[in-house]
Amino acid sequence: MKLDEKSSLLVVDDTPENIDVLHGILSEDYIVKVATSGQMALKIVAMQPPDLILLDVMMPVMDGYEVCRQLKENQATRHIPVIFITARNKVADEAKGFELGAADYISKPVSPPIVRARVRAHLALADQRYYLQELVVERTSELERSNQKLEKTYLAMIQQLGRAADYRDNETGLHVLRVGNYSKLLGRAAGLLESHVELLMYASMMHDIGKIGIPDHILLKPGKLTEDEFDVMKSHSTIGAKIIGEQDAEILQMAREIALTHHEKWNGKGYPNGLSGSDIPLLGRIVAIVDVFDALTCVRPYKTAWPVEKALELISREAGQHFDPELVKLFFSLEADIRRVAIEYGEAVDVIKPAENDKQ
């Protein structure tokens, strides 16, 4: 899509009244095409692919799930964001949609502000991916100076994608910046090459990119999740790995490994694959520690921030259970640097003060 053009949307629903509602919400800002069946939708997409599809689930002959499956299996259309809009709002229904590759899920009756916000957000993400792809193609033929400039842009985009996911449940987006800087410190202490340390900082910022695929009512729930809801929440690690995909770029290989393994536990009781000990990749073990530490020491709508001392006590207790015990020792040796990062990118400075012997 060119920046000076309106984005095109395809609304697919077998009920004319539902089409009219969505058309009324979106037609002022977008070019809106409509289809009243799954078969018609696939024909329209084949002739002129839209920038985004809003897709009903319950349709005769070919339901929305089958339409989405065919779109995601086709190399020419798999990049098009699909938002399911349906009255089916059970966790299992939403999980099925995300497994098929849907970008989001909106329940009927729709709220106009929510529809506009979700469409705008997913078009922005699609534009970022499109821009990045175009930029890579353009820069491959340039000299080393241009490639260095591209690398900086590339890393910035990775950082922003990580922050985009973080904004889903953290309104400041600073969590990923702290995780990146903590990971850099711990990776260097663990003996990684300096070139890999820098890549780790950016790659770790995408550790929770899969949260883009978790429904708001689960991701933002203030209370305890049900077992089914927690199963959906746990899927963010595999969703993140799928979003990043199998890539040649080393930084994206690292990001995929981190997204997939940072919730594994040293004792084998983590997810998604129940890996244990040194079978868990080093990068996943590093981010496991810093992610938990940051979650504990930061304010959230459903919790207050823990003092650093209390968070470190928990990290210490979980050495050999949740965390790699040798990495925990290294993490404790970095306490002064960890506190500086917490303050520099802090959201609750009053609870993250320097140790008495670290005041400068």
Mean pLDDT of 219-235: 90
Q: Given a cut of 80, is residue 95 above it in pLDDT? A: yes
What string of H, E and C letters represents the secondary structure of 304-356? CCCCHHHHHHHHHHCECCCECHHHHHHHHHCHHHHHHHHHHCCCCHHHCCCCH
Q: List the CATH code of the domain at 166-358.
A: 1.10.3210.10
Q: Tell me if residue 106 falls in helix, strand or coil.
A: strand
Confidence class of residue 127 from pLDDT cuts 50, 70 and 90? confident
Q: Given a cut of 50, is residue 214 above it in pLDDT? A: yes
Q: Given a cut of 90, is residue 170 above it in pLDDT? A: no
The residue extents of the domains of the chain are: 8-122, 166-358
Q: Tokens 């990068």 — which residue? A: 283
Q: How far apart are CA 135 and CA 146, in angstroms?
A: 11
**What's the confidence (pLDDT) of residue 309?**
92
Confidence class of residue 359 from pLDDT cuts 50, 70 and 90? very low
43: CB partners within 8 A, 6+ apart: none
Return mean pLDDT, the chain.
87
The answer to whether the pTM exceeds 0.95 is: no
Q: Which CATH superfamily is domain 8-122 in?
A: Response regulator (3.40.50.2300)
Same topology, domains 8-122 and 166-358? Answer is no
Q: Burial level of 138, CB count in 10 A (0-12/13-18/19+)?
A: exposed
Q: Which of 90-99, 104-113, 166-175, 253-262 has the lowest mean pLDDT?
A: 166-175
What is the secondary structure of 223-256 as a DSSP string?
Answer: SPPPHHHHHHHHTHHHHHHHHH-S-SSHHHHHHH
Q: How far apart are CA 346 and CA 335, in angstroms?
A: 15
Highest mean pLDDT pick, 100-114, 151-165, 172-186: 100-114
Sign for the pseudo-dihedral over CA of 88, 89, 91, 96: positive
